[in-house]
A and B are shown apart, each in its own frame.
Chain A
Amino acid sequence: MASTLGNDASSAVSNPIGGDASSALELELRNVQKRYPGRREAAIPDLSLTVPAGEVCVLVGPSGSGKTTAMRLINRMIPLTGGDILLGGRSVLERQETELRREIGYVIQQVGLFPHQTVQENIATVPRLLGWPKDRIDRRVSELLELISLDPTEVGRRYPHQLSGGQRQRVGVARALAADPPLLLMDEPFGAIDPINRATLQDGFLALQEMVRKTVVFVTHDIDEAIKMGDRIAILREGGTLAQYAPPAEILERPADEFVADFVGADRALKRLGLATLADVRLPPMNGDEPVGDVPLTMSVRDALAAVLAAGGRPLRVMSSDGEVRGLATLDAIGHVFDGSSEALSEASPAGRAADEQA
């Protein structure tokens, strides 16, 4: 699978696409209600949350929790029956539907690329609808293809059926970004991809988001994906009520109720370990023993734990990227990460901060 989405582009393109967070807008759901006619229970009784500009909000929950419904209410693919949705302070109800949608990026699981158009034409869809001049469109399409690490000359003229699943997904994301929208909606975009490529796509998207900083609403049923991708996570219950809306670390440490705790999984302590890297842990210094192997400083604490276990519980040497020895990764050090003592966790990590608050 190709390299991560952002890395090649940042050297090739002098101006990052859509640049700053100022082009992203804040999204607010205010007492949003969706009730289908003839049904007693509302699909979404009353949902309120705010996504700060430039952040990724993941809607996650079991089926029947209304997460996709909530997303589709935002770009009015489904009509709203109560409440309001504000994008950058303006209600989406004020705008004409088609006009609104041209300003919101939309990525669905099966992608839905137009089979009868080339990759270039697909990506150019919204700019064409907006009436951009041709050369601006062409430039933009090339930019985006490079951004997603696809060769414009080679891949641009191909048809969707000539692409692999992962390539199609990336083109789908590029297409959503084409008109530089302030908001991006993504409905299980990586769900149909095999796990290995999915991880690559997720990493790629995160790198992209680092550069373009869009406001993103991302729907998934996979809590691990939610933790990985989200700046904030909104956990929805069956019946469409909000169980908890918080950053991943907080949800893992302090699940609001039993439902959230169950949903997150009994291994949430391990998941928390995944949020921090060895750089965030205060590592004991080297002692006289011979370490049995090396692990990089950038490795997540969870992976480090796995490595130590694989080494039979014996300590591993932690190396920084420039070859410096930073200390030892030991079972003991990792084991004390959450016990609230500030010896184990340096304050830099979000997990550390939360632990300090707890103490």
Chain B
Amino acid sequence: MNPPLLIGAGGPVIPNFGGSSHQFACEKANRLFCWDWFNHNWSTTLWPALRQHVVLVVIAVALGFAVSMGLALLAHRYRRTEQPMIAFTSFLYTIPSLAFFELLVGIPALGLSFWTAEIPLIAYTLLILFRNILAGLRNVPTEVLDSARGMGMSRRQMLLQVELPLALPAIIAGLRIATVSTVALATIAAVVDNQGLGVPIISGIDNYYFKTELIAAGVLAVLLAIAADSLLVGTKRLLTPWTRTRAV
């Protein structure tokens, strides 16, 4: 259901998403945050929005990571491709989010849909992920590579057993940045695809009187970002035991 984007509308508009016409006391009292409204509308509005948001972000980062990994491995092998790839991913990054979303709306195959939102989100992750994966691979000390090769590892074995594991800290750092940024950017995706936490935020944005919806969704978005970041930090600690201790 598409909540109307009321721009400059006057008068208090308290979001009513159908169903209950119950009005809470705090709504009328117009305090900053109405817990009753929150609790009542959690399952109908906020929780679905949160779920959709998570889906948006996870798919964007996962696909972005897959593409970036492919590009980075190519650039690692064929150095000449690095500059063009950086230029390309930077180019995508430069397109302001709103413009990017809207331009894809112009493509009939996409229109207003899930993928209209996803493609720009994926595109924005490419630059940071590509650069970090590549930097991580490049930062493997040369003597480690030399000894690995000298011991008889094939190229593939070197990549899988030595280079990628050692690149993990940089890769995960990139994933953190990409994920947090995507959580924030996905709120704008609501403009073209009626999903995610952006929906309650946008509908609440010009509502001067009732701010609970906006605050609730906004806080949820930030909490989601923090949660995702912490999850990734934990993953990094798990996967890179050698970074846990200090040098002797």
Residues of chain A having any CB pair with chain B under 8 Å: 75, 77, 97-103, 106, 108-117, 125-126, 129, 159, 161-164, 172, 175, 185
Contact = CB atoms under 8 A, between A and B. Distances in A.
Nearest to B147: A112
B195 to A, nearest CB: 40
Counting from the closest, the 10 A-B pairs by CB-CB distance are A112-B147, A102-B152, A101-B152, A106-B150, A112-B143, A110-B143, A161-B247, A159-B242, A98-B152, A116-B242
Contact of B242 (A100, A115, A185): A115
A101 B151 contact: yes
Interface string B91-132: 000000000000000000000000000000000000000000
A114 B143 contact: no
Given A106-B150, A117-B242, 17 more contacts: A75-B150, A98-B154, A108-B146, A111-B147, A112-B141, A112-B143, A112-B144, A113-B144, A114-B148, A114-B166, A126-B152, A129-B151, A159-B241, A161-B247, A162-B247, A164-B248, A175-B151
B98 to A, nearest CB: 42
A112 B148 contact: yes
Nearest to A172: B147
Contact of B147 (A103, A106, A116, A129): A106
Contacts, number: 74
Contact of A114 (B144, B149, B157): B144
B147 A108 contact: yes
Contacts of B141: 110, 112, 115
Nearest to A129: B152
Nearest to B144: A112
Contact of A77 (B149, B154, B166, B242): B149
Contact of A161 (B148, B151, B242): B242
Nearest to A103: B152
A115 B151 contact: no
A67 to B, nearest CB: 16
A100 B165 CA distance: 25
Majority-rule SS of A interface residues? loop
A114 B157 CA distance: 13
Q: How large is the interface on B (under 10, 10 to 19, 20 to 34, 35 or more residues)?
A: 20 to 34
A164 B165 CA distance: 23
B166 A116 contact: yes
A323 B85 CA distance: 77
With most chain B CB atoms within 10 A of its CB, the pick from A103, A110, A126, A172 is A110
B150 A101 contact: yes
Contact of A126 (B145, B151, B154, B166): B151
A234 B157 CA distance: 35
Nearest to A176: B151
A115 B150 contact: no
Interface string B31-62: 00000000000000000000000000000000
Contacts of A129: 151-153, 157
Which of A101, A112, A161 gathers the greatest number of chain B CB atoms within 10 Å? A112
A175 B240 CA distance: 22
A106 B248 CA distance: 26
Q: Which of B145, B152, B162, B245 has the most CB of A within 10 A?
A: B152
B245 A159 contact: yes
Contacts of B157: 129
Given A101-B151, A126-B152, A108 B143 contact: yes
A351 to B, nearest CB: 37
Interface in B135-175: 141, 143-154, 157, 162, 165-166
Given A116-B165, A162-B248, A164-B248, A77 B147 contact: no
Contacts of B149: 77, 101
B150 A77 contact: yes
Contacts of B242: 115-117, 159, 161
A57 B14 CA distance: 89
Nearest to A77: B150
26 contacts: A77-B146, A77-B149, A77-B150, A97-B152, A98-B152, A98-B154, A101-B150, A106-B151, A108-B143, A108-B146, A108-B150, A110-B143, A112-B143, A112-B145, A112-B147, A113-B147, A115-B141, A115-B166, A115-B242, A159-B245, A162-B245, A162-B248, A163-B248, A164-B248, A175-B151, A185-B150
A111 B146 CA distance: 9
Contacts of A111: 143, 147
Contacts of A100: 152
Nearest to B150: A106
A125 B141 CA distance: 18
Q: Which of B150, B162, B247 has the most CB of A within 10 A?
A: B150
A285 to B, nearest CB: 54
Contacts of A162: 245, 247-248
